[in-house]
Amino acid sequence: MTAGRKLCAVSVDLDSIECYYRIHGLGEPPPGLGDIIMRRALPRFAALFARRGIPATLFVVGRDLELEGGGDAAEAAKAARAQLGALVRAGHELGNHSYSHFYDLARRDRGVIRRELGRAHTLLREVMGGAGPVGFRAPGYDVSVALLDEVAAAGYLYDSSVFPAPLYYSAKAAVMAAMGVMGRWSGAVLGDPRALLAPTDPYRPHPRSPWRRGQSPLLELPIGVTPGLRVPAIGTYLVATPVAVRTRILEAMRARPVFNLECHGIDLCDAEHDGIPGELVAKQHDLRVPLTEKLRAMEATLDRLAPEYEFVTLKGVAQAFQRGALQGAA
Ligand SMILES: [Zn+2]
């Protein structure tokens, strides 16, 4: 690792289209779309990373690797395993994003949490070989004492779920309230508000309150927000926001020792290219941005970061933290 350069870790949460149908209260997605993120979006990210020599962290929902049960889902899982296996061999990291992607996982009982972590871990280990993943990201950015206890008990090195972004939180609360008024049920859960005041650079959480500093063996690597206003510096915003806003966000992020740049598979999808139904596009506005534009925004973002940052996986960030090699992080 080059001394003096800031670190940037790009991660991609590979949430399936079904997750978005659930968030927006749309029921089940049409058949044939279940694996569209793995099939269409992941290769686009992989090509982008390969062109630039960026090692990324991919958070995988265990169920998407499940071979039991046969049928189309198992066929899709086989293809996903082959693709992810090749990415691991190319130097990327796979992280645990739970088995079912329950948005309320943090509030479930410990038995459910343990099974969700354990089953996803086993499936990921089958793809990765060795000891399996060392990093976790919670569905919907929501953590709890019980959830992080179980992640720590599973021997993980880090969690990367805390998203200390009040603007994102209030926007989500407003959307969920509007849906409630209209009698529609959202599968999303409004996270614990204590996350809004959490530290914004990597830290060791307190075992009884993971939103503040303590001595937990599990590190927390918060998702990128700007200093001051805590504007989300995540892929979904960066690909769909005007250039001037993106430039300001990236400029502000230079004050951080680490840029934890979180993306979603859907960030490199577009409705037209990928045959995504209008019912979802009406709710998920970033799907209207053409893929060429999103790719251009992503390329421009990485162009801007490349001279100043060293790209590493989140595991690399966690290891740098442990060595005391992160500038400005406590
Ligand atoms: Zn997710």
What sign does the dihedral 214-134-139-302 (CA atoms) show?
Answer: positive
CA distance 197 to 325: 25
139 CA → ligand 1 middle, Å: 4
pLDDT in tens, the chain (330 residues): 455 689 999 999 999 999 999 988 898 888 889 899 999 999 999 999 999 999 999 999 999 999 998 899 999 999 999 999 999 999 999 999 999 999 999 999 999 999 999 999 999 999 998 889 999 999 999 999 999 999 999 999 999 999 988 777 666 666 666 666 556 666 666 677 777 788 999 999 998 999 999 999 999 999 999 998 888 999 988 998 889 999 999 999 999 999 999 999 999 998 988 999 999 999 888 888 999 999 999 999 999 999 999 999 999 999 999 998 886 554
Query: Is the CA virtual torsion 22, 219, 83, 79 positive or negative?
Result: negative
For residue 326, how many C-alpha atoms fall within 13 Å in the half-sphere facing its CB? 24
pLDDT confidence of residue 139? 96
CB 312 within 8 A of CB 158: no
Alpha-carbon torsion (64, 68, 74, 78), positive or negative: positive
Distance, CA 42 to ligand 1 centroid (Å)? Answer: 14
Q: What's the distance, CA 255 to chain centroid?
A: 22
Sign of CA dihedral 319, 322, 324, 328: positive
Q: What is the SS3 assignment for 31?
A: coil
Residue 19 CA to ligand 1 centre (angstroms): 8
- Ligand 1 centroid distance, CA of 4 (Å): 32
Q: What is 6-322's CATH superfamily?
A: Glycoside hydrolase/deacetylase (3.20.20.370)
Compute, in angstroms, the gap from residue 286 CA to the centroid of ligand 1: 16
> Residue 315: phi, psi to the nearest 5?
-60, -40
Ligand 1: centre distance to CA 137 (Å): 8
CA distance 93 to 116: 20
Distance CA(295)–CA(328), nearest Å, equals: 32
Distance CA 294, CA 280 (A): 18
Q: Rounded to the nearest whole angstrom, what is the distance from the C-alpha of residue 53 to the centroid of ligand 1?
A: 25
Exposure string of 34-58, with b = 16+ CB inside 10 Å and e = fewer, is: bbbbbebbbebbbebbeeeebbbbb
Instruction: Give the Å distance between the CA of 248 and the centre of ligand 1.
Output: 26
Residue 8 corresponds to which tokens in the numbers above? 């940037």
8 A C-beta contact, residue 60 and residue 94? yes
Q: Alpha helices of 53-197 — where are they, by DSSP H?
A: 71-89, 110-128, 145-153, 166-181
Q: What is the pLDDT of residue 330?
A: 47
Cα gap 314→325, rounded to integer Å: 14
| pLDDT for the residue numbered 325 | 83
Q: Tokens 């998203």 sit at which residue?
A: 163
